[in-house]
């Protein structure tokens, strides 16, 4: 299916409310590809990213009024739950000027979703502000997101995710090229399924990896996104991307430290030798 034009998308949204997948499929916790501890959205502008459907992408619209806590951190409340709102340094001054000069008018926020994966804890969802307007000039209604990425399982997340990797032309000052792993709820009847890595299966026998391009609605009660509709059919052709750089393990000391009981035994033996002398 081709990508909808803004006018057709807006008309379709008014004529028929989309059906959102809100039930979690029965899946077992697996251990596939390594997940990065923190996501990082694309550095390209929202306009550049949206015009090319073959790129990895994660972006959406919110219309909640941002708030600020005592420490000066911005956040939004969605269904009564607090979500951090990160303002990039290059937009921080303009943002402070906006809320200082025009504190009351509601704003539509174009945001990058971020998900911090913490071992043995639920993922922490946050948002990074890309741009803001007093009117919604984008295809997505508030609460809707456009996700393009690989549908798969990652460690520490019990439901599948859309993994949004850094596009080939992306730049990362830290050189890590971390991916965003966004938990989603999606059931399909077209034979596609989330990729599940199994180290015991030969590489050539592993299941297919599917590149998904679809609209999802954020579900605060589940801290995840529910599938609404495809922008393009699922495809096995995955765009070229920057492979995340794994953190280097800490170098081990040349001489292993002895255990407490070994040090105690050595001290006793040394004292016994002194007494014999």
Contact 34, 178 (CB under 8 A): no
* Average of per-residue pLDDT across 61-88: 94
Q: Is 74 in a helix, a strand, or coil?
A: strand
* Average of per-residue pLDDT across 155-183: 91
Q: How confident is the model at residue 105 (pLDDT cuts 50, 70, 90)?
A: confident
Q: What is the pTM of this model?
A: 0.73
Q: How confident is the model at residue 143 (pLDDT cuts 50, 70, 90)?
A: very high
Closest CA to 13 of 228, 239, 159: 228
CA pair distance 189, 236, nearest whole angstrom: 17
Is pLDDT of 47 > 60? no
CA pair distance 191, 118, nearest whole angstrom: 31
- First-to-last alpha carbon distance for the chain, in angstroms, is 91
Half-sphere exposure of 206 (CA within 13 A, CB side): 16
In this predicted model, which residue has the larger pLDDT, 27 or 63?
A: 63
Measured CA distances, 19 to 22, 23, 217, 226 (Å): 9, 12, 10, 9
CA pair distance 49, 63, nearest whole angstrom: 21
Tens digit of each residue's pLDDT (9 = 90 or more) over 201-248: 999 999 999 999 999 999 999 999 999 999 999 999 999 999 998 766
Tokens representing 185?
A: 């709820």
CA pair distance 113, 78, nearest whole angstrom: 14
Per-residue confidence (pLDDT) for residue 249, from 0 to 100:
62
Tokens representing 27?
A: 């899946």
Is pLDDT of 189 > 80? yes
* Average of per-residue pLDDT across 110-139: 93
Per-residue confidence (pLDDT) for residue 275, from 0 to 100:
58
Q: How confident is the model at residue 151 (pLDDT cuts 50, 70, 90)?
A: very high
Per-residue confidence (pLDDT) for residue 42, from 0 to 100:
40
Rg (CA), the chain: 24
Contact 89, 97 (CB under 8 A): no
Return the number of other C-beta atoms located less than 10 Å from residue 174's C-beta: 8
Task: State percent of the chain over pLDDT 70.
Answer: 70
Per domain, the residue ranges of the chain are 6-276
* Average of per-residue pLDDT across 31-35: 34
CA pair distance 56, 45, nearest whole angstrom: 13
């Amino acid at each position: 299916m081709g990508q909808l034009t803004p006018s057709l998308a807006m008309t379709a949204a008014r004529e028929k409310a989309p059906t959102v997948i809100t039930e979690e499929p029965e899946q077992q916790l697996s251990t596939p590809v390594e997940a990065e501890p923190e996501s990082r959205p694309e550095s390209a502008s929202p306009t550049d990213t949206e015009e090319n459907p073959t790129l990895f992408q994660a972006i959406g619209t919110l219309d909640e009024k941002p708030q600020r806590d005592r420490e000066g951190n911005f956040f939004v409340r969605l269904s009564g739950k607090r979500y951090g709102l990160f303002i990039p340094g290059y937009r921080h001054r303009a943002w402070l000027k906006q809320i200082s000069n025009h504190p009351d008018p509601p704003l539509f926020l174009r945001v990058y979703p971020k998900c911090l994966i913490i071992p043995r804890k639920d993922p922490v969802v946050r948002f990074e502000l890309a741009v803001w307007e007093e009117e919604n000039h984008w295809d997505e209604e508030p609460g809707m997101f456009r996700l393009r990425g690989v549908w798969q399982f990652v460690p520490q997340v019990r439901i599948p995710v859309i993994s949004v990797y850094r596009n080939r032309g992306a730049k990362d000052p830290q050189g890590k090229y971390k991916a965003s792993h966004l938990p989603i709820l999606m059931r399909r009847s077209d034979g596609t399924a989330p990729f599940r890595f199994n180290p015991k299966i030969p590489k050539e026998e592993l299941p297919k990896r599917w590149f998904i391009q679809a609209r999802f609605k954020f579900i605060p009660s589940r801290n995840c996104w529910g599938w609404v509709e495809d922008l393009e059919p699922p495809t096995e052709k995955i765009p070229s991307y920057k492979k995340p750089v794994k953190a280097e393990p800490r170098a081990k000391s040349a001489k292993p430290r002895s255990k407490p009981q070994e040090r105690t035994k050595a001290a006793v033996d040394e004292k016994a030798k002194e007494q014999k002398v």
